[in-house]
Amino acid sequence: MTELLKVIDLKKQYENDEIVTKVLHGVSFNIDEGEFVAIMGPSGSGKSTLMHIMGFLDKLTTGKYIFKGVDTSNLSDDQMAEYRNFDIGFVFQSFNLLPRTSVFDNVKLPLSYAQNPGDITAKVKQAIAAVGLNHRINNLSNQLSGGEKQRVAIARALVNDPALIFADEPTGNLDSKTGGQVMRILQTLNKRGKTIILVTHEKYTAEHAHRIIKIKDGLVEEDLQVANHIEIKDGDELIK
């Protein structure tokens, strides 16, 4: 297995005015290419903070973050943006689509950062097909259901063909049926070789991954392989 990323004794504290909030107290693990990992823990345990650091949306306070063999300690903002835009796709609980904008244009957005995006129309159509939304391509984002919105967000995360996808509570705003569809898409993408890092506070959602890293009070409490992960088949609900 090829290592994709590694965090070593990672600590993070936020400093606002005089107030220091210590969030991560020394977290270490490796993730290989092609894994499907759930970062699981209660609300406020530091999951999103950890994801933001691994996704180059934020910086650690001390410790090391190695991404694709590169020590990221001294990267410039431009180098961080390069990783963020071309190596990683993001899916968030709240979808974060552009309002009153078509599915096509929402999915196209990340390609506008590329200098040589290639055949934009073909790439956008391929990403939309991968989430089964061909019939919605010209609809506006506000004309979609929650599940469809999240599938558009996944298509947007895929359009640059990144090796790694972060999904932060992607089913948090969905009912169990549409949540199941989203988990099925993530499982299918993983089978096609994408590394998936799923952030969730729900045990049953985490059990769709192949490995669970449990975070509690800013520390890794447990890091285990899931012996029998839940496999979603077409039409299955997310079991609650």
Pairwise CA distance, residues 13 & 172, whole Å: 26
Considering the rule CB under 6 A, would residue 106 count as an interface residue with ligand ADP?
no
* All residues at 6 or more sequence positions from 143 whose CB lies less than 8 Å from its CB, including other chains: none
Query: Which position among 5, 36, 38, 49 is part of the footprint of ligand ADP (CB under 6 A)?
Result: 49
Which entry of Mg ion, ligand ADP, none binds 45, CB below 5 to 8 A by partner kind? ligand ADP
Query: Which position among 2, 43, 74, 116 is part of the footprint of ligand ADP (CB under 6 A)?
Result: 43
Considering the rule CB under 6 A, would residue 45 count as an interface residue with ligand ADP?
yes
Closest CB to ligand ADP among 21 and 73? 21
Residue with tokens 């059990």: 207
Would you list the DSSP string of 184-228? Answer: HHHHHHHHTT-EEEEEES-HHHHTTSSEEEEEETTEEEEEEE-TT
Considering the rule CB under 6 A, would residue 198 count as an interface residue with ligand ADP?
no
Considering the rule CB under 6 A, would residue 221 count as an interface residue with ligand ADP?
no
Contact window for ligand ADP (CB under 6 A) among 41-49, 66-74, 78-86, 159-167: 41-49
Identify the CA nearest to 11 among candidates 26, 33, 28, 22.
26
Task: Please report which helix (H) or strand (E) contains residue 122, including its range.
Answer: helix 120-130
Considering the rule CB under 6 A, would residue 200 count as an interface residue with ligand ADP?
no
Considering the rule CB under 6 A, would residue 69 count as an interface residue with ligand ADP?
no
* All residues at 6 or more sequence positions from 32 whose CB lies less than 8 Å from its CB, including other chains: 1, 2, 3, 4, 195
Q: How far is the CB of 128 from ligand ADP (least distance, A)?
A: 29
Residues that bind ligand ADP (CB under 6 A): 14, 16, 21, 23, 41, 43-49
- Residues at the contact surface with Mg ion, assessed by CB under 5 A: 48
